[in-house]
Amino acid sequence: MAALIPALIPAHAGDLHYELFAAGRYNPLGQVQDLTLGWKQDLVDAPEGSLIFDESYLYIGPTVQLSPSFAALGGTVRVMPAAFIRLDLRVERILAWSDLSSVADSPLPFTAASLELAQLGGALIGDGWRTVDSLLLQLATGPFAARATATLHGWRLDLPDGAIFYDQANDFLAPAQGFGFSLDQDLLYLAPGRRPVLGLRYTLARPLAEIPDWGERPLQRLGPLFAWTFEEAEPGGAWTNPTLFVLAQLHLAHPFRTGDPTSRALPWMGLGFTVEGDLRRAAGR
């Protein structure tokens, strides 16, 4: 136990750190921009080449997320005690508006409360709170890696009891007061310098509630992914690890995207970009 104490003591002064994520997708259409800006504190003064403590830090700061179906403002606490595990806790005030026609091409039976709200303007509008709590586990050997991210999504929207809305991020109908779950599992090949990264992703997601015409069936997708990290201008600077990624997955199971009304042959496709950086360290150079 005593040997663990030094690992819990901050080893460096820390830095003002940001992360920017922007992505779009097809089937269904969607896009999101996510920005976090906060304090990143190293936890371990790891020796060069350390595999376990190559990344070990505490991060805390505000977040903003924008998309066509919601806007969210809140805060994130991220703890990564070692390179193979990371825990994210996120709480946000959210305004969600969801055009019900984006769920499927045919009318769906919604609850009376949801239908009444939808008829007011063709959309559900909910002002409330959202939590996103995720656990990342990853292992690597040589150029190969495996990664799994499990996430619990929670909503407390100011809508009538029994109302539902379309959660664009996960592509399922969700309870206005309730939870959902998602799991991403990746098998990866990392080329030298991590350019490129090739892999296969399996996705499972479901609302943790009984939803009309949805039930408790999970949606499942499987397909290849590709990522390319461009050479950064200077390690540890304000523009670090700029990465472009592409993902294409076939729907293995989904109430509306496996033949009725959308063909199973039409894949879920995503294209995105992410970058991060240390602002205080960069300004001091």
> How far apart are the C-alpha atoms of 26 and 48, rounded to whole Å?
42
What integer pLDDT is reported at residue 154 of this predicted model?
Answer: 94
SS3 (DSSP) at 280:
helix
CATH number at residue 89: 2.40.160
For residue 122, tell me if it sits in a domain: yes
Residue 60 forms part of a structural domain = yes
Average pLDDT along the chain: 80
Percentage of the chain lying above the pLDDT 90 cut: 43
48 φ, ψ to 5°? Answer: -60, 130
Residue range 186-197, pLDDT digits in tens: 999 988 766 789
Confirm whether 176 is domain-assigned: yes
On whether residue 90 sits in a domain, the answer given is yes
DSSP 22-52: EEEEETTTEEEEEEEEEEEEE---PPTT-SS
Q: What is the mean pLDDT of residues 58-66?
A: 95
Residue 6 three-state SS = helix
Mean pLDDT is lowest, of 18-22, 77-81, 91-95, for 91-95
* 11: pLDDT strictly greater than 70: no
The answer, yes or no, to whether residue 185 has pLDDT greater than 90, is yes
Q: Is the pLDDT of residue 208 over 50?
A: yes
Residue 285 counted as domain residue: no
* pLDDT tens digits, 157-178: 887 777 777 787 888 888 888 8
pLDDT tier for residue 108 given thresholds of 50, 70 and 90: very low
Total tally of structural domains belonging to the chain: 1
**Is residue 284 in some structural domain?**
no
List the domain range (segments joined by +) for residue 192: 30-231+246-270
Please report which confidence band the pLDDT of residue 255 belongs to, taking 50, 70 and 90 as the band edges: confident
Tell whether 134 is covered by a domain.
yes
d(CA 50, CA 53) in angstroms, rounded, equals 6
Would you say residue 239 lies in a domain?
A: no
pLDDT class for 205, splitting at 50, 70, 90? very high
Across 53-82, average pLDDT: 89
Collapsing DSSP states into helix, strand and coil, what is residue 268? strand
Q: Which of 46-55, 100-109, 134-143, 237-246 has the lowest mean pLDDT?
A: 100-109
Confidence check: pLDDT of 48 > 60: no
pTM: 0.83
**Per-residue confidence at 68, pLDDT binned at 50, 70, 90?**
confident
